[in-house]
Chains A and B, each alone.
Chain A
Amino acid sequence: MASVSEMYDVGWEEMRDKLRKWREDNFRNSEQIVDVGEELISEHGSKLGDDIWIIYEQVMIAALDCSRDDLALTCLQELRKQFPDSHRVKRLSGMRLEALERYDEANKHYDAILQEDPTNTAARKRKISILKAQGKSTEAIRELNEYLEQFVGDQEAWHELSELYINEHDYGKAAFCLEELMMTNPHNHLYCEQYAEVKYTQGGLENLELSRKYFAQALRLNNRNMRALFGLYMSASHIAASPKVSAKVKKDNMKYASWAASQINRAYKSLKRFVKHLCVTNAINYIHFSNRI
């Protein structure tokens, strides 16, 4: 099988930089990370300097994702040799046990870390992940709520909690989590847009109006967010179609909806390859008369 460097004609520095980019952007493209990382470590390990340790960690986690226990164990053993008492490495051992579905052993591992360091957030979050993996959503939600009472600033945790609530169809609580995230990240268009989606799903006129406002806000923060644009169209259309609104509200929302529709059509038309079946004009008219889910 051809090596990554042969197939893509890249040198080891580019491979190392790619891995760093994936690390920084928190991508979960595990198969690619394994391909690139495994080759980088085995062929160019000596050139990486101290970078090699964080690469071992990244490749180990990706290897767990791909059921490559052989590779994961190799990386783990190197890390254990280099950092014998590290809690960070102990957490990786725990993750390996999780991947092998040895949850009781993994939990013991994390409990041992927490005995020595009760503030270790990583171990606590892994324990919650185990609950999630076992399908124990209620317990996971409860533990995560308790965690957030102590670690109020942990955005990853708030986001995870919002997803857990959405999966349980508890949209009100999911919205609360997203409100926390929006407060601390007022310029993040993704949180705005997700909040709008949750409000829309909750339903009811008041939530629809809120959802329209937040779709609009997301669009203001990033005018290329297609979900926000579609969302603005959908929410405005539904408000305009509601029998409970005044004539003025109806008129305003029809204006917003038709603006959004024209922007959507513009976005599709601006694609150099304008594909006929992506014609949105007819679809937009059709949405007007569709029922809500």
Chain B
Amino acid sequence: MPIQLTSQAYCKMLLHAAKYPHCAVNGLLVAEKTKDKKKDSHSEPVLCVDCVPLFHGTLALAPMLEVALTLIDTWCKENNYVIAGYYQANERTKDSRLNQVAEKVAARISENFSESAIVMVDSSRLTMSCFEPIVLIYDHHENKWKSREVTVDSFEDWSEAQKITSALLENRCYENLIDFDNHLDDLRNDWTNPVINKSVLDLC
């Protein structure tokens, strides 16, 4: 039921926010598709292994979002992933509220994945050292999005996530992060971010 973030998912979200500090950014979280849908698997956390950065700037327009959801969904199917969540960092650092855009996209994701979550990035606490997690995680309960307490258990391995994110921020790796907007500007830009994924792997 609750989601858990791997280091790769967490650091790419933060790199995306760091690359466009003056813009709102958003993206999708993906999890590995599990074969069983038993009732008791509800207590198992959903591990978000990766994220796909989507847009920066104006987030509230539909057409490119629909294109992105469709292409990424296809990519997920080919890699045995499922879109499990959505992240967003608002334009103003002091504002980390969940807004209409987040709700709309998450509602769409929920059609295919009932336990989807919204992750809001609190940019006001973004530091190089990443000494604390700066995400707010929301689950859908009774038609409302409720935030849950973010602890070390919200991560597959918090100290690894912290170490890797901090290192990548220091090295300005966010300059090489590709989001879907970059891909639309130039199709050669690969939104799966193989270069950053490799850097993460090297630091693990």
A residues within 8 Å of B by Cβ?
Answer: 28, 31, 65, 133, 135, 163, 166-167, 169, 194, 196-198, 200-201, 211, 226-227, 230-231, 234-235, 267-268, 271, 273, 275-280, 282-283, 286-287, 290-293
Contacts and interface: CB of A to CB of B under 8 A. Distances in A.
B79 A166 contact: no
Nearest to A28: B22
A236 B54 CA distance: 23
Contacts of B188: 271, 273
A132 to B, nearest CB: 8
Given A271-B187, A273-B188, A197 B78 contact: no
A231 B63 contact: yes
Contact of A234 (B66, B78, B175): B66
Contacts of A267: 187
A283 B70 CA distance: 6
A211 B66 CA distance: 15
A146 to B, nearest CB: 23
Contacts, number: 90
B132 to A, nearest CB: 20
Contacts of A276: 78
Contact of B67 (A133, A163, A234): A234
Contacts of A293: 62, 65-66, 104-105, 108
Contacts of B111: 291
A135 B92 contact: yes
Interface in B67-96: 67, 69-71, 73-75, 78-79, 92, 94-95
Contacts of B65: 293
Give the bracket for the number of chain B residues in contact with chain A.
35 or more
B58 A292 contact: no
Nearest to A66: B21
B153 to A, nearest CB: 32
Given A31-B172, A227-B184, A286-B74, A135 B95 contact: yes
Q: Is the interface of A mostly helix, strand, loop or mixed?
A: helix
A227 B64 contact: yes
Nearest to A232: B63
A133 B188 CA distance: 35
Contacts of A166: 58, 60-61
A293 B109 CA distance: 10
Contacts of A235: 63
B100 interface: yes
Contacts of B61: 166, 194, 197-198, 200-201
B192 interface: yes
Interface string B82-125: 00000000001011000010001100100100000000000000
A91 B108 CA distance: 45
Contact of A286 (B73, B104, B172, B184): B73
Contacts of B108: 291, 293
Contacts of B105: 293
Contacts of B157: none
A218 B40 CA distance: 52
B149 interface: no
A282 B63 contact: no
B170 interface: no
22 contacts: A65-B22, A135-B95, A197-B63, A197-B64, A200-B61, A200-B62, A201-B61, A211-B63, A230-B67, A231-B63, A234-B66, A268-B187, A273-B188, A277-B75, A277-B78, A278-B71, A283-B70, A286-B70, A286-B74, A287-B70, A290-B66, A293-B108
